[in-house]
Amino acid sequence: MKKWSKKKKIIMIIILAVIVAAVIVCLVLHSKKSTSSGQGDVTTYKSDTNLTASNYYTGVIEPETSVNINKDSDREIAEVYVKVGDEVTKGQKLFAYKTNDVSLQIEQAKIELADFDTQIADSQSQINALTDQKATAAPENQTDLDDQIKSLNTAIKQAALDKKMKQAEIDSLNQKVGNAIVTSSIDGVVKSINTGDDSSTYMTILSTGAYQVKGTVDELNLASLSVNQKVKIHSRADKTKTWDGTITKIDTDSSADSSNDSSNGGVAMSGNGDGTDTSSEKASKYNFYVSVSTTDDLLLGAHVYIEPVVTDSSAEDATSSSEVAK
């Protein structure tokens, strides 16, 4: 009995050890899961502004206008006069196409054009000779002479048509030579130059002086914004700088690329004003655009906060909605 009792004690100790180990493992896993969940669902930011609005959104300063300059797929670039980051003015040279091959094509086309003139002149000369011959020819030869004259007239018409088409080709080639130098249509900054051959857009110019703010809102907060709504723009770098703005467009046709916005992906922030993002990670996001009253001190590419201006009517609507929810 004593021997059996000792075995039971050993078994009990082993069972207790297994239970304790399992409890410890569960606690560790739960702790890691809680930490991971907290980091994924809620993102905390340092409050670097004195925003008091119930909701605010992140945005970035971008130009109101950008111009994409396409490259002709059948032409080669001879020289590029600018580089990425250069400021350009309207009419300034950007790049030039090679024209050597085009010039040779023009010369060849002019030779062919002259050949058509020669063909027409020769055919007309033969027609004149046959017409004189026909005046004194015997009756049995009249039909044959008429057929020859008819054939030559047809050749003249075909040569005239070919000449017209060749002239159009020359005009097109001359236009290419005239358009060999491509210039900027706006004052701006060279954003990109595509050195590859996989895209027709060769160069992009961003306008300077006329800026707008691109913000991002998720679908849960989309109804809180509207076109023509007034907003206040806050600098993230200098809390004393603000600008007045108006929402000009809310793009619901396509989902926003959150990588273009600030550190929180441009997600609408929560209503407690503490800089904590309580929006859903899985919610779709959309871009909206804000025109600003002045561009003074605005820096292209700078990140900002967008604060909707709460009017008396919107505050009453919010109160009514809250009462209905209750």
The CA angle 60-62-63, to the nearest 5 degrees, is 165
Q: Which of 228, 265, 315 is nearest to 54 (CA)?
A: 315
pTM for the structure as a whole: 0.46
**What's the one-letter identity of residue 296?**
D
How far apart CA 43 and CA 79 sit, in angstroms, is 49
Beta partners for residue 242, in sequence order: 234
Fold of the CATH domain 66-98+181-204: OB fold (Dihydrolipoamide Acetyltransferase, E2P) (2.40.50)
How far apart CA 84 and CA 3 sit, in angstroms, is 88
Domain boundaries, the chain: 49-64+210-325, 66-98+181-204, 100-178
User: Residue written as tokens 């050949």?
Assistant: 115
pLDDT (mean) for 113-138: 92
What local confidence, expressed as pLDDT, does residue 281 receive?
A: 55
In CATH, the architecture of 49-64+210-325 is Beta Barrel (2.40)
pLDDT (mean) for 204-227: 87
Burial (CB < 10 A; 0-12, 13-18, 19+), residue 48, is middle
H/E element holding 79?
strand 77-80
Q: Which of 229, 231, 222 is nearest to 285 (CA)?
A: 222
Max CA pair span of the chain: 152
Q: Which of 234, 233, 229, 232 is nearest to 247 (CA)?
A: 229
CA 264 to each of CA 46, 58, 91: distance values in angstroms, whole numbers, following the listed order: 12, 8, 40
Distance of CA 109 to the CA centre of its chain: 40
Does 49-64+210-325 match 66-98+181-204 in CATH topology? no
* Percent share of the chain, pLDDT over 90: 34
Q: Which of 238, 270, 294, 299 is nearest to 60 (CA)?
A: 299
Q: Is 298 helix (H, G, I), strand (E, B) or coil?
A: coil
How far apart CA 310 and CA 159 sit, in angstroms, is 77
CA 191 to each of CA 199, 204, 208, 257: distance values in angstroms, whole numbers, following the listed order: 16, 5, 11, 19
pLDDT (mean) for 25-32: 66
- pLDDT category at 260 given cuts 50, 70, 90 is very low
Q: Which of 254, 241, 258 is nearest to 299 (CA)?
A: 241
pLDDT digits (tens, 9 = 90+) for 263-295: 343 444 434 334 444 444 577 899 999 998 887
User: In sequence order, which residues have a C-beta less than 8 Å from that of residue 137 and are 6 or more positions away?
Assistant: 145
Q: Is 28 helix (H, G, I), strand (E, B) or coil?
A: helix
- pLDDT category at 30 given cuts 50, 70, 90 is low
What local confidence, expressed as pLDDT, does residue 313 receive?
A: 55
User: In sequence order, which residues have a C-beta less than 8 Å from that of residue 258 and are 6 or more positions away?
Assistant: 216, 265, 266, 267, 285
What local confidence, expressed as pLDDT, does residue 101 receive?
A: 82
What local confidence, expressed as pLDDT, does residue 300 receive?
A: 79
CA 77 to each of CA 97, 175, 296, 307: distance values in angstroms, whole numbers, following the listed order: 4, 16, 38, 47
pLDDT digits (tens, 9 = 90+) for 293-306: 887 888 878 899 99
